[in-house]
Amino acid sequence: MLGSMKAIQVQRAGGPEVLELTDLPKPSPGPGQVLIRVEAAGLNFADILYVAGEYLVRTRYPTVPGMEFAGVIEALGEGVEGLQPGVRVAALGGSGAFAEYAVVPVRSVLPLPPQMSAAEAAAFPVSYFTAYFALRTQARAQPGEWVLIQAAAGALGTASIQIAKQMGLRVIALASSEEKLALCRRLGADVTLLNTQDNLLEAVRNATEGKGVDILMEVVGGAGFAQSLKMLAYRGRLLVIGSASREMAQMHPVGLMKGNQSVIGVWLTPFLSDPAEMQAAVDFLMPLVASGQVRPVVGERFKLEEAAEAFRFVLSRKNTGKVILQP
């Protein structure tokens, strides 16, 4: 397929300053692949780590970042069945979404309910699948349990509040401003607390009748990790999902014995190549989006060429919901 396209390319590890708007050849779909015209791409904290060379997979430069997007199918590679050009879909996994066109393997394509806007569709895959795998698959959450969600007004946080409420959990939402906490309450959080407040540990214990939380979604890491462990109830599970502070955390594993507690890692990427787990997640999530019971929170929107500004915006902790890049 001839022609060129605009893309955000990165030549070396760094911050927002290494994002360059470039002309690249428009890709064509190989066997088993789908070419999609990108309408909106979700900006994840992981993209920032990936560009910086600090992510869980090694970044190979030059690269076009972006791991989720929504757009219209333009062409199908050899052997692809069951999809039609002209249909809007979302796509999840890999890189290359911060561009006008992207090619993805057919298994990365998610058909979506037609009423979802492109921005909502782009905001959906990473956050909602992660929330599901964290709470259901890894933590084995049970109705009535307490879950504490850090960075609860962010992309993963807002998805997690909605998914937790659908699972019948009781939610404590933590965030850094009153405005963010108001959003968390609108989404159904039962208790909201500023993460900057003194005696946070005491506030969490008071909210849970002195017991602590059954599940804690840890996305900040660093110095606060030790306090997160203290917030766990008997048989509580601390989910290690992220480290937005980009600082090392310390723990003494022996401390887990007394309360029969667990620390559990959660990473979306390996689940993407597990068909049975993906099918279970799709069966749970799709009816909820189709019926409007859960709805992605779309935050600020930036043009593709404003990618650096969008990265700085997320790093400044100003975003609520998912920041969107639009070609």
The residues of the shown chain that bind ligand NDP, judged by CB under 6 A, are 44-46, 126-127, 130, 151, 153-157, 175-176, 180, 195, 219-220, 241-245, 266-268, 314-315, 317, 319
Spatial CB neighbours of 248, under 8 Å, sequence gap ≥ 6: 221, 222
Dihedral of CA atoms 128, 129, 132, 137 in degrees, nearest 10, equals -170
- Residue matched to tokens 């003194």: 198
| Pair 52, 13: CB distance under 8 Å | yes
Which of 22/195 has CB closer to ligand NDP? 195
φ/ψ (deg, to 5) at 268: -65, -40
Query: Which residue type does 55 have?
Result: Y
Smallest distance, ligand NDP to C-beta of residue 126, A: 5
Element (H, E) at 25: strand 19-25
Tell the burial category of 144 from Cβ atoms under 10 Å away from its Cβ (0-12, 13-18, 19+). exposed
Which of 36/161 has CB closer to ligand NDP? 161
Q: Which residues pair with 217 in a beta bridge?
A: 149, 239
- Residue matched to tokens 């955000």: 8
Which of 215/241 has CB closer to ligand NDP? 241
The residue count for the chain: 327
Strands 191-194 and 213-218: what pairing?
Answer: unpaired
112, two tokens: 């979506």
193, two tokens: 């607390």
Spatial CB neighbours of 48, under 8 Å, sequence gap ≥ 6: 15, 311, 314, 315
Which of 155/171 has CB closer to ligand NDP? 155
Spatial CB neighbours of 302, under 8 Å, sequence gap ≥ 6: 43, 309, 310, 313, 323, 324, 325, 326
Smallest distance, ligand NDP to C-beta of residue 136, A: 14
Which of 37/185 has CB closer to ligand NDP? 185
Smallest distance, ligand NDP to C-beta of residue 74, A: 28
- Residue matched to tokens 């600082």: 247
Smallest distance, ligand NDP to C-beta of residue 31, A: 29
| Pair 28, 59: CB distance under 8 Å | no
